Structure 1
């Protein structure tokens, strides 16, 4: 096998794909191909190791006596730690005929210590590996930003009026159409432009008559750009000509809009701030709908730039809450304003929902609110229907305002919480878990705070309550086998060879941390913030807290990546991922994350004695 073939092989294996050209050449030139029979020992416990092995074909088991600790297969390698320590802690033996590349220890160590990225990788803890997982994959996503089209950014509507329209009528049109510019067409069918700043700087300062032709303050010599042109090219054109805006045409040479510098800056900065401002300024549901369409673009942009999932979720959650608050303000009867608390629950309440999932919301109404129940129900139904129109699907469990169970007076909610704590059914604990994650999205926050204080008081003296609350995690298995292989649900033909990353990882972690937080009476709802608080209380030690944070971030990030890819290809967004769609590094980190989740699960099982519940 020639050197180029060996280099191509190395480029498929992280972190060796990070080597420089010189390092890659030296690495490949020193590789030997070795063949091993089934059940042949490659590296023996207690001996000094001689090579780094990269598997071309076959399976190798890592054993401690007779216990199999790990399994390595095609495009994986072993055992760098043995080479670094010059001591083999375990035995590596083939499970079937195996072909490997072998790199001498001295060459590996030379390249390792000469490459900071490589050295940093092999001396990291699991949590550090998870934290530093990223940029070689993120760079691929970032490349997508460079091929964004003009039509992908915010293009203002093109409003064209006659050249001789009066200044007054033109200004009135700008206000009514809510656009920053007007296009003017003269008798020769030539196009001119006038902006809102022209009215300030030319009309007012020159004391022009409002009856004058708006054409007098317009500019000509417009520069056009095709809507399918690259966005960065539009930016170059603006810079070249010293312009603040371009007129956008489609393939038929028809004018379809105007793109300005603000739109460009907003796109490349994810325009979170401008979207937030647009929500504040919106005066109708229609205006809000247009603004909410930008959320997915923000998510894709932030993810492509390598922004951590926690920050993406936080930003999107803030925008969602602001959007929901605005919808509530527009629709709610005045008697509810200040006399109720609109709460969002579940992943939205924990600020962990990125892509829109089903609704989980409720309304706590002050006991002294004068609005009649039938009017409340009428509003609640309208609110739920409006959220559906905005892309928030109905909750399959009917946890929505339109369900009277989740829309009730303060004192009725207290009775409901009491029944949940005293109850023993799965629904009781599920409802309690959902409610504990609630945050106030609009209205009187104090109503929710008092109900949570009541919840803490009722559950404080009942250890059996926390045991039962935690028990649900025993119904879910981490999809990692005894030999570190992924475990699939053979009965689910629809998702064959796929893993439910929520059931097998995220839910177990979230519910475990939620239970510990409830027992310690934490008001925090976000899982990462709960982990930090539990760490401060010494419920979780420093290293484990760090591991949990990074495992949670990786699991939610890999889920988001999978769902963004599904959206691009028109597939259903769900919680399933196929490990074969992951690169070697991601598979490794997924296994590490599942190990951390399993460790947490065992901690909960011991802490709450779940085997006795």
Structure 2
């Protein structure tokens, strides 16, 4: 590598982008390059470390005796902790031929104390480290928007007509196809364009005859872009030529659509407003479905811009609620809508569902309202099937409107709640947990509010109930070993090299906070809001509240990142993370997050006396 390449390599590894020019020069001047064979010990357990290693090529295993605690690969460092403590707790062994840069310990320690940002990173608290990672990811991912392609934006369908069409026929086609622009091919094979503004400004204002040929109001001299061109370049072309739209072609030079200024602006603004408007204005199920198809694109766009995970959740859940509210109003009999409450539960009720998982919904019906079972079943089945068509999978536990268990009268739900609380079984506690997260998305909100008040009354001051409700967290192990290495479930083939981040982290936080919230009669459903409320009530101290929010957001964020990558590869979305695919910083933050989960778990075990349940 040249000196410039060496500088670029070191600066690409977090947090060394914070080095000053002189410090970076010192790093490059003092580094050496070393080669190691497979199965060679680089640093022994119990030794005094002498160097910081930057991996150029190969694979390193960190071991405690014979147990592999962690793996490091290209573009990662090890072991800063050993250098700071001047003692190596573990051994580092090559798993394959490896090439590294080495930096002497005295240089690393000297510059560490000279550089405030570097020192902050290596000595900061867990919550500070997690928060700084969010800021780093935001800055890093902002560049991703520059590589978005034209095909990533909303491209209007290209409808090409012949030159013999009349103004009236062309206007009819625009209305039927629901597009703002038409293309026209003349006898010389030249392409013309007709926009909705042409109809307003040339036809209406000039009082043209509707039977005139539409070619009279068309324009030529179109500008073309390709669907694999960078979207940013398309924006520059439109600005340069003063255009409001360009025609899009594929790699076969075929016209595939039209990109206009509104679509382009919407993409850079994440398209939230326009999709929200699309939902509000939708009058049919088909129009709603079209709006729902934009959700994944919005999530990718927001994530690429470095938007915090809690804001992505909030925005997407607002769109989901609007979608469900509108769908309910379109499909439900009018009288039913006025006498019921449609609720969503689980992660959607907590406003923590980002990518579409399965449906978790229910319908609470006013006691005084009368509807035949057949009419009700016809509607609820149609509602469920429509959501399936929209891309919301059926719930494996059948927690959906189409299941009569989750579609019943208000007083029947009261009976259910009493049963869930007084007859402690696994299923009853699960149903209670799901229901406690419920929020109204359409209809009479008071129905769910009154049921929650009844729940608090039935479960009031029952230490035994609260303990049993929280007990389930003890069934899940945090995948972190005694020596801070990741642990894997060797019995489950899928989990041998992967971690179920939901079972090992996210669920424990959600259920733990849910248990404390139910005990304290908190109406909030969102986990972060529940944590803040518990902090306000002095149930959780400031430090733990901050740590829990940071850990929860990091675990959710890294799960989203993994699933977006799986979607791009057309793989099934799940909750599995392979730590070997993470960089050093992500591995460290994942371990830190699991430490916070363990901290919560111990608090809950003491608070609810779970060892005695």
- Superposition pairs for residues 301-312 of structure 1, below 5 Å? 301-312=301-312
Partner of 1:76 in structure 2? 78
State the distance in 2 between where 1:140 and 1:436 align. Answer: 38
| Alpha-carbon offset, residue 561 of structure 1 | 0.8
In structure 2, relative to structure 1, the CA distance for the partners of 1:529 and 1:136 (3 Å cut) is closer
| Alpha-carbon offset, residue 298 of structure 1 | 0.8
State the distance in 2 between where 1:115 and 1:268 align. Answer: 36
Partner of 1:225 in structure 2? 225
| Alpha-carbon offset, residue 143 of structure 1 | 4.7
1:388-409 residue CA offsets vs partner (Å, 9 max, x unmatched): 1111111111111111100101
Alpha carbons 2:235, 2:264 under 8 Å: kept: yes
1:56-89 residue CA offsets vs partner (Å, 9 max, x unmatched): 8675879xxxxxxx98886322349x96xxxx6x
State the distance in 1 between where 2:530 and 2:211 align. Answer: 64
1:259-301 residue CA offsets vs partner (Å, 9 max, x unmatched): 1011111112211111111111222222222221111111111
State the distance in 2 between where 1:558 and 1:573 align. Answer: 13
1:148-195 residue CA offsets vs partner (Å, 9 max, x unmatched): 332221111122334353333333332222111122333433322222
- Larger CA deviation: 27-36 vs 586-595: 27-36
| 1:42 pairs with one of 37, 44, 48 | 48
Partner of 1:253 in structure 2? 253
| Alpha-carbon offset, residue 531 of structure 1 | 0.8
Q: Is 1:263 the counterpart of 2:224 in the alignment?
A: no
- Larger CA deviation: 153-162 vs 3-12: 3-12
Alpha carbons 1:61, 1:72 under 8 Å: kept: no
Alpha carbons 1:167, 1:211 under 8 Å: kept: yes
Partner of 1:558 in structure 2? 558
- Superposition pairs for residues 209-358 of structure 1, below 5 Å? 209-358=209-358
- Larger CA deviation: 33-42 vs 234-243: 33-42
In structure 2, relative to structure 1, the CA distance for the partners of 1:39 and 1:237 (3 Å cut) is closer
Alpha carbons 1:198, 1:217 under 8 Å: kept: yes
- Superposition pairs for residues 74-113 of structure 1, below 5 Å? 75-79=77-81, 92-93=88-89, 95=91, 101=102, 103-105=104-106, 107-108=107-108, 111-112=111-112
Partner of 2:502 in structure 1? 502
State the distance in 1 between where 2:319 and 2:504 align. Answer: 29
State the distance in 2 between where 1:214 and 1:12 align. Answer: 57
State the distance in 1 between where 2:519 and 2:417 align. Answer: 16
Indicate the RMSD between aligned Cα atoms, in angstroms. 3.0
Alpha carbons 2:43, 2:88 under 8 Å: kept: no
User: Could you say what secondary structure the match of 2:551 adopts?
Assistant: helix
State the distance in 1 between where 2:5 and 2:218 align. Answer: 64
| Alpha-carbon offset, residue 253 of structure 1 | 3.4
Partner of 1:122 in structure 2? 122
In structure 2, relative to structure 1, the CA distance for the partners of 1:94 and 1:245 (3 Å cut) is closer
1:216-270 residue CA offsets vs partner (Å, 9 max, x unmatched): 3322222222233332222122112111011223344333221101111111221
Structure 2: which 5+ runs fail to align? Answer: 35-40, 95-99
| Alpha-carbon offset, residue 349 of structure 1 | 0.5
In structure 2, relative to structure 1, the CA distance for the partners of 1:234 and 1:4 (3 Å cut) is closer
State the distance in 1 between where 2:381 and 2:554 align. Answer: 37
State the distance in 2 between where 1:255 and 1:298 align. Answer: 25
User: Could you say what secondary structure the match of 2:48 adopts?
Assistant: strand
State the distance in 2 between where 1:270 and 1:202 align. Answer: 34
| Alpha-carbon offset, residue 37 of structure 1 | 7.7
Partner of 1:66 in structure 2? none
Could you tell me the TM-score, scaled by structure 1's length?
0.89
- Larger CA deviation: 132-141 vs 280-289: 132-141
1:523-544 residue CA offsets vs partner (Å, 9 max, x unmatched): 1111011111111111111111
Alpha carbons 2:45, 2:88 under 8 Å: kept: no
- Larger CA deviation: 270-279 vs 109-118: 109-118
Alpha carbons 2:44, 2:88 under 8 Å: kept: no
Alpha carbons 1:52, 1:79 under 8 Å: kept: no
